[in-house]
Amino acid sequence: MCGIVGYIGTRKVVPILLEGLKRLEYRGYDSAGLVYITNGKLVKYRAEGKLSSLERNVEAILGVESHVGLGHTRWATHGAPTTANAHPHGDCSDNIVVVHNGIIENYRALKETLQKKGHVFRSETDTEVLAHLIEEHLEEDIVLATRKALKQVQGSFAVGILWKGRPDIIVAARSHSPLVLGIQNGEGNLLASDVPALLPYTRRVVFLEDNEIAVLAKERWEVRQISNGRRVQKEVQTVTWNAGMAEKSGFKHFMLKEIYEQPQALVNTLRGRLEPQSGRVELPELGELETSLKEISRIAIVACGTSWHAALVAKYWLEDWVGIPVEVDIGSEFRYRRLLLDKNVLTLSISQSGETADTLAGTRLAAKLGSAIITICNVVGSTMTREADATLYTHAGPEIGVASTKAFTSQLAALFLFASYLGQLRGTLPADKARKLGHAIIELPTLLEESLDTIQQKIAVIADRFYDSRNFLFVGRGLSFPIALEGALKLKEISYIHAEGYAAGELKHGPIALIDKDMPILGLVPRDSIYEKSISNIEEIRARHGQLILIGSEGDRNLKTITDHVLFMPQPQTMVAELNPILFTIPAQLLAYEIATRRGCDVDQPRNLAKSVTVE
């Protein structure tokens, strides 16, 4: 998704814009640009490709005497990723410039109307329409003109606007696309699509909501409603993240750093929520929902991508420990089918970013039908957290790598706690089972901390053997099936190898036709209640000469008789099979990472992908 940064203050603006854009690179982009005001002029620089191209273009003007500007990284939606389509975009005279994240759905009709009035367009983008629309409305007041223009827009937008006539302010507005203000004391104020871009300068932030327009000046800021111009009182929040958390800290890639941060992310997510001895789970953030949680008859879960895989795992835990039906939907499907939801159904949304358009749209529909919304989310103040009835935060810290890793295992930990909490609240989870679950998960972070290096070394040997594969299958049963899906997604999204996840028992219904000596298959075969069934499926593969890689439970010598490529996962002292999804994800993440690096892929910013898909 596009990234927006803006600064107005006492410091030179160009280095701040470039640093901010670097911190938003993980959002995914294919061109970049910036604009600043100096000596009464608006000066624009834009470049195709990575930020380094833009940096080369602006090298000579890093020290330019300017203290107000906007930067943008563009993830192309309308128009190819060319310089002409890169943001910022200007009006006819380039006196007004706009940077934008989102989609203006009615831009064609607006463009035709504006062209008939003589406006000349220079790009294929929907964004440029905004600059001309503001120009059309502009008399003396850029804020009023912007409000009038935005009221004609259908679709989603987070925008930053500069006008040559008011070099003392930046105008910003949002509807269905994230935008956050960074508040400094007197040194200036900032604007960004996401918190990491603000962290080197401030941890004091203001999250804009839909229908809000902000005016940023060097020493003051205000927020109003786009619809009626009425002033909005906003809370300044202090984020707990620091700048270092959004940096690589010696790791080659953010993804590897975040894989290794998983033990700490688990500790942070469990902290204060689990009484280790009894296994009792306390979730005070759900306090107001406790009564309705005792009465719900069903749970609907909506999520996308990796978060959807977490939802699939949660279904097993919830149905087992709570004893009510759980249906899981992909956001883009959920939002367009007839939803049979009401106040008796709890809707869970799972999202690392809290901004995924399809998941967000689904939760809004569910809320309209009377369903209570709980969101499992990693970003404080994100849209989903502000709209849900309650939020269960994963405390994984900023996840910069596009491929989700620590957020996923933290989601599983949060869902594990939620399912145990709900089972205890409704009296469906026996106390000794709750205690065992608690003892097991509390051991997990240390166990992972101690074994990550060894796992990576062993996975590296397997990656040496299979990195040039053209296809890959991942198979698992029961709780391992969603992890097979997740392993396949990790591999395909960062190595570009075609990989598919399947329920192991499903192979004989067609996919087994794919098995031959050139097909690598990673099998997840923990010692659980369906172990024998899983082994039967593995034998079916072996009989057809598939190249087997097995991930199993420590001590399971049987696996060595099946294939040479075996990796054993350590087991907590108090082992419960329900923990395997968290454990068995780690080798799958590392396999994707090791293969992708061997293939020279851009691990942190895979082609075509964005960290947060805020458009549908």
Minimum distance, C-beta of residue 214 to ligand AGP, in the bound complex (Å): 24
Using CB under 6 A as the binding rule, whether residue 352 contacts ligand AGP is answered as: yes
Phi, psi of 349 (to 5 degrees): -115, 140
CB of 319 to ligand AGP, least distance (A): 22
Q: Is the dihedral of CA 424, 429, 432, 437 positive or negative?
A: negative
**Residue 493: CB minimum distance to ligand AGP, A:** 6
d(CA 6, CA 616): 25
**605 scored as a contact of ligand AGP (CB under 6 A):** no
Residues contacting ligand AGP: total by CB under 6 A? 15
Check residue 402 for interaction with ligand AGP (CB under 6 A): yes
Q: Cα dihedral sign for 394, 480, 579, 489?
A: negative
Contact partners, residue 525, CB within 8 Å, separation at least 6: 476, 480, 531, 534, 535, 538, 550, 551, 552, 556, 559
String of contacts with ligand AGP for each residue 482-521, x by CB under 6 A: -----------x----------------------------
Q: Which is nearer to ligand AGP, 95 or 306 (CB)?
A: 306
- Residue 359 touches ligand AGP, criterion: CB under 6 A: yes
Interface with ligand AGP, residue 193, by CB under 6 A: no
Is 549 exposed, middle or buried (CB count within 10 Å of its CB: 0-12, 13-18, 19+)?
buried
Residue 306 binds ligand AGP, judged by CB under 6 A? yes
User: Choosing from 12, 406, 490, 611, which is the catalytic residue?
Assistant: 611
Alpha-carbon distances of 408 from 42, 86, 311, 601, rounded to whole Å: 43, 33, 10, 22
Identify the residue whose tokens are 């097979």: 484
Q: Which of 515, 613, 614, 615 binds ligand AGP (CB under 6 A)?
A: 613
Among candidate residues 2, 304, 377, 601, the one labeled active-site is 2
Among residues 101, 146, 351, 391, the one that binds ligand AGP under rule CB under 6 A: 351
Q: Which one, of 575, 581, 576, 389, lies nearest residue 478 by Cα?
A: 581
Give CA–CA dist 330/109, Å, rounded.
32
Q: Which stretch binds ligand AGP (CB under 6 A): 93-101, 103-111, 263-271, 302-310?
A: 302-310
DSSP per-residue codes, 76-103: -SSS-S-TTTSSPEE-TTSSEEEEEES-
**Binding string, 16-55, against ligand AGP, x = CB under 6 A?**
----------------------------------------
List the one residue from 3, 90, 102, 305 that touches ligand AGP (CB under 6 A). 305
Q: Which is nearer to ligand AGP, 351 or 424 (CB)?
A: 351
Per DSSP, the three-state class of 219 is: coil
Nearer to ligand AGP, 121 or 251 (CB): 251
Which is nearer to ligand AGP, 86 or 304 (by Cβ)? 304
Q: What's the rounded Cα separation, in Å, for the pair 343 and 389?
A: 13
Question: Quick one: 352 or 547, whose CB is closer to ligand AGP?
Answer: 352
Closest by CA position to 570, among listed 553, 585, 588: 553
**Interaction of residue 353 with ligand AGP, rule CB under 6 A:** yes
Amino acid of residue 580:
N
Whether 368 sits among the annotated catalytic residues: the reply is no
Residue 251 exposed, middle or buried by CB count within 10 Å (0-12, 13-18, 19+): middle
Return the number of the residue (110 or 494) whose C-beta is nearest ligand AGP. 494
Q: Which stretch binds ligand AGP (CB under 6 A): 21-29, 36-44, 66-74, 299-307?
A: 299-307
Options 192-200, 347-355, 447-455, 552-560: segment touching ligand AGP (CB under 6 A): 347-355
SS3 336: coil
Q: Select the residue whose beta carbon is closest to ligand AGP and give its number.
A: 305
478 binds ligand AGP (CB under 6 A): no
Nearest by Cα to 36 from 127, 133, 167? 167
Task: Give the C-alpha distances (Å, rounded to integers) separating 362 from 301, 307, 339, 345.
Answer: 10, 14, 9, 14
Q: Which stretch binds ligand AGP (CB under 6 A): 118-126, 242-250, 398-406, 512-520?
A: 398-406
Pick 189 or 352: Cβ nearer ligand AGP: 352
- Give the residue, chosen from 356, 424, 451, 614, that forms a contact with ligand AGP under the rule CB under 6 A: 356
Q: How far is the CB of 537 from ligand AGP (least distance, A)?
A: 26
Region near ligand AGP per CB under 6 A, out of 2-10, 23-31, 304-312, 508-516: 304-312
- 3-state DSSP: the chain helix, strand, coil percent, rounded to 5? 40, 25, 35
CB of 491 to ligand AGP, least distance (A): 11
Considering the complex, state which of residue 160 and residue 305 has its C-beta at the smaller distance from ligand AGP: 305
Reading the block at residue 444, the tokens are 């997990």
Copy the structure tokens of residue 169: 């302010």
Options 8, 17, 37, 403; binder of ligand AGP; rule CB under 6 A? 403
State the minimum distance, in angstroms, from the CB of residue 352 to ligand AGP.
4
Rounded distance between C-alpha atoms, residue 218 and residue 127, angstroms: 26
The CB-of-310 to ligand AGP minimum distance in angstroms stands at 8
Which residues 95-114 are close enough to bind ligand AGP by CB under 6 A? Answer: none
CB of 377 to ligand AGP, least distance (A): 8
| Closest CB 606 distance from ligand AGP, rounded Å | 9
Alpha-helical segments (H) within 402-530: 406-425, 431-466, 480-495
614 near ligand AGP, rule: CB under 6 A:
no
Q: Work out how close the CB of 442 gets to ligand AGP at its nearest, in angstroms, rounded to a whole number.
A: 25
Residue 612 binding ligand AGP, by CB under 6 A: yes
Question: Residue 236 carries which DSSP code?
Answer: P
Q: Is 2 a catalytic residue?
A: yes
Can you give the C-alpha Rg of the chain in angstroms?
25
Enumerate residues 6+ apart whose C-beta is below 8 A from 88: 33, 34, 35, 44, 46, 70, 72, 97, 98, 99, 162
* Residue 480 interacts with ligand AGP (CB under 6 A): yes or no: no
456 burial (CB, 10 Å; 0-12 / 13-18 / 19+) is buried
Residues designated as active site: 2, 611
Residues forming the site for ligand AGP (CB under 6 A): 304-307, 351-353, 356, 359, 402-404, 493, 612-613
